[in-house]
A = this chain, B = another copy of it.
Amino acid sequence: MANFTIRDIARIAGVSTTAVSFVLNNKPGVSEATRQRVQEVIQRTGFTPNAHTRRLNLRRSFSFHVVLYWHDYDLFNQFALEIMHGIFQSCKELGYDVTITFVDETMDCTALMESVRSKTCDGVILSQIEDSIFFARLQQEEIPFVCVDSHVKEDPSVPIVEVDYYQASYEAVKHLCRCGHKQIGFLGPATPLELRSATFGGYTDALREEGLVCNPAWISSIDFAAGAAGKYFDKLMDTSSLPTAFFCTGDAFAIDLVRSAQRHGIAIPDDLSVISIDNILVSQFIMPPLTTMTFNKELLGRRAVEVLYSMLSANEYENVTLIPTTLCERSSVKKLSY
């Protein structure tokens, strides 16, 4: 396949490059006859304009850059691909390309910043990144960016698209109450500085509404690390009685908890009920299948692109976009008779 330029097309069609450019970009100022003739030559030659030249000229790259956090622990990488798919779909509709970078716990952002300064993207989507170094550097470069599925540490200047964790946790706990549970533990990070910290508010508000109080030993504040939930549970077994149910802030924690409980000979859900948030793939395959608050993962990506595009177009946009969750009932919650 020969390599045509706009000059070749112009020469073949017997017009100037300007005319061809106008036809390519659907601009006025070209007669219908000429337009047809140029179109025909473009069709025949299979000409596609060089993207780099176009980007150089327009000083826009028509691409968004996605930064993905790569977790050591498989279970935490679960829906990154679905978020990506959502991002891709929206970008496709807008005519944007998508480029990707993975970062790990070193949070090294030099390569990313190099890329941004070299103008290879018009905006950045940070997926599961909550390190303020990224926000600071991106703001410094004055490049639009959004966070998705990340905790932005109370910084209202950082636009974010995330799961409505408050609503999710509130609904989850309410569901436990509806099933007759009165002793409900909280497994997740209970400090406001952590990811998914909104869950603690949903949990306490739901308890308060039901007039319940919680044994402090049943409230955990654990790290995002493989096996952390299991360790917490081991310790709990040594030192305290058990609640009748646990609300976990994520399926990865819940799965960890379930396995740890089962090792201790505690039957789920007969001895202990478990509910959580995420509905990752594994959750439907473990025994018992997990009852969890589910949501549309692709929507996270789609909304992120929409927000970013609005920022570029100087349109109005919401600084916080929440994705709603719905209950996915499976078999890890027992209905208590009362």
Contacts and interface: CB of A to CB of B under 8 A. Distances in A.
A70 B49 contact: no
Interface residues of A, number: 47
Contact of A49 (B52, B75, B118): B118
Interface in A267-300: 281-282, 285-287
A228 to B, nearest CB: 17
B142 A1 contact: yes
A63 B74 CA distance: 27
A133 interface: no
A99 B99 contact: yes
A10 to B, nearest CB: 18
Contacts of A78: 281
Interface in A50-86: 50-56, 61, 63, 70, 74-75, 77-78, 80-81, 84-85
A85 B102 contact: yes
Contact of A100 (B53, B56, B70, B88): B88
A119 B1 contact: no
B84 A117 contact: no
Contact of A117 (B48, B63, B111, B281): B48
A141 to B, nearest CB: 6
A52 B118 CA distance: 8
A25 interface: no
Contacts of A84: 81, 100, 102
Contacts of A74: 281
Nearest to A60: B52
Contacts of A114: 48
Contacts of A282: 281-282, 285
A311 interface: no
Given A97-B99, A141-B1, A119 B50 contact: yes
A92 interface: yes
Contact of A92 (B50, B111, B281): B111
A299 to B, nearest CB: 16
A46 interface: yes
A144 B261 CA distance: 53
Nearest to A70: B85
A85 B74 CA distance: 12
Interface string A1-28: 1000000000000000000000000000
Interface centre among A53, A88, A97, A286 (most CB of B within 10 A): A97
Given A1-B141, A75-B281, A281-B281, 13 more contacts: A46-B117, A50-B56, A50-B118, A50-B119, A51-B118, A52-B119, A53-B56, A56-B56, A84-B100, A84-B102, A85-B102, A100-B100, A282-B282
Interface of A: 1, 46, 48-56, 61, 63, 70, 74-75, 77-78, 80-81, 84-85, 88-89, 92, 97-102, 111, 114-115, 117-120, 140-142, 255, 281-282, 285-287
15 contacts: A1-B142, A46-B117, A48-B117, A50-B119, A74-B281, A80-B81, A81-B81, A97-B99, A97-B120, A98-B99, A99-B99, A100-B100, A255-B285, A282-B285, A287-B287
